[in-house]
Structure 1
Amino acid sequence: MISFENTSLAISEADIENFRKITGLEIPDDLKNHFLKYNGGRPIPSCFENDFDKFCIRSFLVIAHGDENCGLENTYLDLRSNDFFSSGYLPFAMDEGGDYFLYSMRDDFGSIYFNQSEYYGDPDRFMIKLSDNFEKFLNSLKECD
């Protein structure tokens, strides 16, 4: 069972609506429900492993109550304005190195990806698909070694 530590103040539907007004983006229901239950924080366990790599979550982003520079709203707007970042993804968590776990808003809606910024320009390594959906992603987290 997953739990979260160091979460921020709880948010409301009004905070979700404010996010939509700021970004023009509707948060998908599964992600919205997660943020209503846990606003930010570090999951325990916190690592996702595939056949090749391990991806460890430092923290989920915060809506409304976090540091302006690392809140979900500003992170999304900042990334959207960068040329290297593909549109159609919503960052929801980050690793120790500042790379993002992303929720796909594209044709494969709901899929979870990891953005490896050091591999910009390498389409095989820049965006790594981790899971087909958010629930499966969370249920796949393991303890970090």
Structure 2
Amino acid sequence: MKFLQLSKKLTYEELKEVENQLGVSFTPNFRDHYVKYNGGYPVNRNYLWPDGVKTRINHFFSIRYKGFTQLEEAYMDLFVIEQILPVGFLPFASDDGGDFFCISTLPDKYNAIFFCDMHHYDAEIFENYFTQLSISFNDFIENLID
């Protein structure tokens, strides 16, 4: 996997500070990814759904440093301020239509990736706008195609 136009490089210590700030625990493969690639555009920008439909990723959010949507700001806006995201979901990328890709920090779905379809937002029933895409961050990355 290759990413273009990355934000400033992160350290594991900086990621730990962000985890403490947000009150979450990133998965090891998510941490490794962000130390290698902080935000940016994946060369393979399309997620291939099981039914063959593709969703084009606009960009992965950056952490700590500007350059792209900042993960911390997106989390504060979507979870704390607007209360669009349910507890346990952390946005890390967006598609071209303003929808989000989130990693779960919930114990029973830890590391699973979900698509947050804002066109079907329902404040009462998050299942109406959240769809699980993969069981892990690595599985999600492996399903990105050109």
TM-score for both structures, normalised by structure 1: 0.88
Equivalent position of 1:118 in the other structure: 119
1:48 partner letter: Y
* 5+ residue gaps, structure 2: none
**Stretches (4+) displaced over 4 A:** 122-125
1:134 partner letter: F
The answer as to 2:135 corresponding to 1:136 is no
Please state whether the residue corresponding to 1:58 is helix, strand or coil: strand
User: Which whole-Å CA distance do the structure 1 matches of 2:105 and 2:58 have between them?
Assistant: 23
**CA spacing shift, 1:71–1:123, aligned 2, 3 Å:** closer
- Matched residues, percent identical? 28
User: Which whole-Å CA distance do the structure 2 matches of 1:84 and 1:132 have between them?
Assistant: 22
The structure in which a higher percent of residues are helix is 2
Compute the displacement of 1:123 (Å): 5.1
1:35 partner letter: Y
Q: CA RMSD in A?
A: 1.8
Equivalent position of 1:54 in the other structure: 54
The answer as to 2:96 corresponding to 1:93 is no
1:135 partner letter: N
State the aligned residue count.
Answer: 141
